Amino acid sequence: MTKVELLQVGPYPSWDEGPLNETFTVHRYFEAEDQVAFLARHGKSIRAIATRGEMGADRQMIDALPALEIISVYGVGYDAVDLDAAAERGIRVTNTPDVLTRDVADLGVAMMLAHSRGIIGAEAWVKDGDWQKRGLYPLKTRVHGKRAGILGMGRIGFEVARRLAAFDMDVVYSDLRPREFADAWQFAADPITLASQCDFLFVTLAATPATRHIVGRDVIEALGPQGMVINISRASNIDENALLDALEDGRLGSAALDVFEGEPALNQRFLQLDNVLLQPHHASGTVETRKAMGKLVRDNLVAHFEGQALPTPVN
């Protein structure tokens, strides 16, 4: 039986590429020298897209695939998929929520701890011989008992809050409305109020056109010179120029970031700062979680072509 033709937008680990190629005829978009010509040559028969959260599928790609039926995203964020273009043609979209939630929350908390306690610098202090030459490592900042803000009380925000409560932190959150499952923690009506009430601000909300730059100059200044922003969502949720300005002139204390505009390239201004922790968008980057994500990508695709209910539909 002829295998369904699928466009693979970005690379997957080998343990995913094998099963994908067993089930589908895979066209490797990311390896094409001329991607427009590649779609012109193969697009007519492609019925599925397997993409990554940060890569998505834009309207130009979707329009080049007249037989497209489903877009399966390896990631919880589907903001890079043109949902309007998909909806116009009844194309299904799926993502991989839940399986990555706790890893993403773990890394967010780890970033706060690492940056507050100077873990990266402390290892350099040992390895560069400074401990012997210059003595004790400079004192850093306490975390436990401080105030933590969660901007976006979804799955990931909830798991971050649970973890922070275990550090005896006072947790406050903001979302479109109070969430019953989060009634253990204080609700703040808006991001500025939230930022004014916390020392650490976690940005955990899904990226949508409505949330673009939700963390702007006013929220950043409300967080203040002693505050730290931790972003494990999407770069678009923060006005990166306002962030850089505030980090450079001291209106914001520090930032721990796993996502960047234009990643994997990033604004070179970040590299000149010593009050940032920079991470390469790896919040879900564990073997266990990525294997679960890859399987869920395939489970959604197989379910669709077998006429079954989709495990994790977006639309």
Catalytic (active site) residue 304 = no
Region binding ligand 8YV by CB under 6 A among candidate stretches 72-80, 143-151, 180-188, 249-257: 72-80
- Our finding on whether 52 is near ligand 8YV (CB under 6 A) is yes
Catalytic residue of the set 234, 290, 298, 304: 234
- Our finding on whether 68 is near ligand 8YV (CB under 6 A) is no
Catalytic (active site) residue 281 = yes
Q: Which residues contact 229 (CB under 8 A, 6 or more apart)?
A: 201, 203, 215, 220, 223, 238, 243, 252, 254, 255, 256, 257
Closest distance to ligand 8YV from the beta carbon of 149 (Å): 21
Which of 9, 39, 70, 76 is the binder for ligand 8YV (CB under 6 A)? Answer: 76
Query: Which 117-156 positions form the footprint of ligand 8YV (CB under 6 A)?
Result: none
Q: Quick one: 186 or 286, whose CB is closer to ligand 8YV?
A: 286
3-state secondary structure of 283: coil
- Locate tokens 């004014």: which residue? 196
- The amino acid occupying position 80 is A
Catalytic (active site) residue 234 = yes
- Our finding on whether 74 is near ligand 8YV (CB under 6 A) is yes
Catalytic residue of the set 92, 155, 163, 281: 281
Q: Where do the H-state alpha helices sit in 94-249?
A: 101-117, 119-127, 130-134, 155-165, 191-196, 217-223, 240-249
Q: Please count the other Cβ atoms lying within 10 Å of the Cβ belonging to residue 251.
A: 16
Q: Quick one: 39 or 76, whose CB is closer to ligand 8YV?
A: 76
Token pair of 94 as six digits: 């799926």
Token pair of 75 as six digits: 């990631």
- Locate tokens 């002693």: which residue? 226
Q: Please count the other Cβ atoms lying within 10 Å of the Cβ belonging to residue 196.
A: 17
Token pair of 127 as six digits: 């390895």
Catalytic residue of the set 221, 251, 263, 269: 263
| CB-based closest residue to ligand 8YV | 53
Strand order from edge to edge, sheet including 46-52: 25-28, 5-8, 46-52, 70-74, 92-94
Which of 75, 149, 152, 227 is the binder for ligand 8YV (CB under 6 A)? Answer: 75
Q: Quick one: 52 or 298, whose CB is closer to ligand 8YV?
A: 52
Closest distance to ligand 8YV from the beta carbon of 80 (Å): 9
3-state secondary structure of 311: coil
- Our finding on whether 106 is near ligand 8YV (CB under 6 A) is no
Size of the site for ligand 8YV (CB under 6 A): 11
| Contacting positions for ligand 8YV (CB under 6 A) | 52-54, 74-77, 100, 104, 283-284
Which residues are part of the catalytic machinery? 234, 263, 281
